[in-house]
């Protein structure tokens, strides 16, 4: 099985490593919230002995409505993420949407993330791969909702071809869309993607989305089944996932983006402790 390390941070993912936790906010709202959320999650992961990466988006470009909150933007967003990184001493995960953003993002984020809808955009993937390799990070690619797990081989091949065969890719499962405002996660897909020689994470937050089905806005935003996040996360870790991607908020119903899929921050410890235990059983610890 594949494994990767970030030596500067003394963390790894894959065979022989603890369950990696990529967690934080869906989108940056303000600096204070980012710092307090990251501080809480870092403390929880430290207590549990789990490697931790802070996650937040500076721009949510794929929105149901033009009126939806997107975030502070590239410049201010990277400033806040750099502040979180420096003050909390944690690695960063954030996503990009255009090739022009690659170098700036890779200069701050150890995990440069390709959103699911953009995983086949060649110019974006190539630019992100080259910038991430140069910076010494990992490329975290979410499998598109329209792709079969084995079709992710083309993503992995594209990244290797753009970087002279370098291995620093992590794939992320986040469900498949069959229309009708729902996503379905096939847990067998985790093992199928691991056969491509890369670690695999589960985005349990976005896997419970109900695209375009938030009753609060009459379908102008994405709904979700918050109660399903833990179910998906547990099932994925039991199926061999190498890491979990989770989004939290002190008051999910007041989150500015994707609140219905967001978990309450005060529940992080119980869930992560449960996931650690499951991972330990699967790994034979």
Q: Which of 26, 42, 214, 242 is catalytic?
A: 26
Active site residue 26: yes
Residue with tokens 């370098």: 166
Strand, helix or coil at 43? helix
Q: Which of 55, 60, 143, 276 is catalytic?
A: 60
Contacts of 7 (CB under 8 A, 6+ apart): none
The structure tokens 């060649």 sit at 122
Q: How far apart are CA 170 and CA 188, in angstroms?
A: 17
**How many residues are listed for the chain in this entry?**
285
Neighbours of 150 (CB within 10 A): 12
Let me know: does 51 contact 35? Beta carbons within 8 Å. Answer: no
The DSSP symbol for 259 reads G
- Residue 133: active-site member: no
Q: Which of 59, 158, 258, 276 is catalytic?
A: 258
160 is catalytic: no
Question: What is the full DSSP assignment across 139-155?
Answer: EEEEPPTTS-GGGGHHH
d(CA 138, CA 154): 17
Cα 91–chain centre separation: 13
Element (H, E) at 102: helix 102-106
Q: Which residues are catalytic?
A: 26, 60, 258
């Amino acid at each position: 099985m594949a494994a990767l390390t970030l030596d500067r941070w003394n963390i790894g993912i894959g065979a022989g490593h603890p369950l990696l936790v990529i967690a934080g906010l869906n989108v940056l709202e303000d600096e204070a919230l980012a710092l307090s959320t990251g501080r809480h999650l870092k403390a929880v992961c430290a207590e549990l002995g789990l490697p931790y990466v802070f996650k937040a988006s500076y721009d949510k470009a794929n929105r149901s409505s033009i009126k939806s909150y997107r975030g502070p933007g590239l410049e201010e967003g990277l400033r806040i993420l750099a502040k979180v990184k420096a003050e909390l001493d944690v690695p960063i995960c954030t996503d990009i949407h255009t090739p022009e953003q690659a170098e700036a993002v890779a200069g701050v984020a150890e995990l440069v993330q390709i959103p699911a809808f953009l995983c086949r955009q060649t110019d974006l993937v190539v630019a992100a791969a080259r910038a991430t390799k140069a910076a010494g990070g990992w490329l975290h690619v979410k499998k598109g909702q329209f792709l079969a797990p084995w079709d992710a081989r083309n993503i992995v091949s594209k990244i290797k071809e753009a970087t002279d065969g370098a291995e620093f890719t992590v794939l992320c499962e986040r469900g498949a869309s069959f229309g009708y405002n729902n996503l379905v996660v096939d847990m067998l897909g985790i093992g199928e993607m691991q056969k491509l020689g890369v670690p695999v994470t589960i985005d349990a937050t976005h896997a419970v989305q109900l695209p375009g089905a938030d009753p609060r806005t009459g379908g102008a935003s994405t709904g979700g089944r918050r109660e399903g996040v833990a179910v998906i996360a547990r099932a994925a870790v039991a199926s061999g996932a190498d890491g979990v991607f989770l989004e939290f908020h002190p008051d999910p119903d007041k989150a500015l983006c994707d609140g219905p899929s967001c978990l309450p921050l005060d529940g992080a410890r119980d869930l992560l402790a449960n996931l650690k235990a499951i991972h330990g059983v699967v790994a034979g610890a």
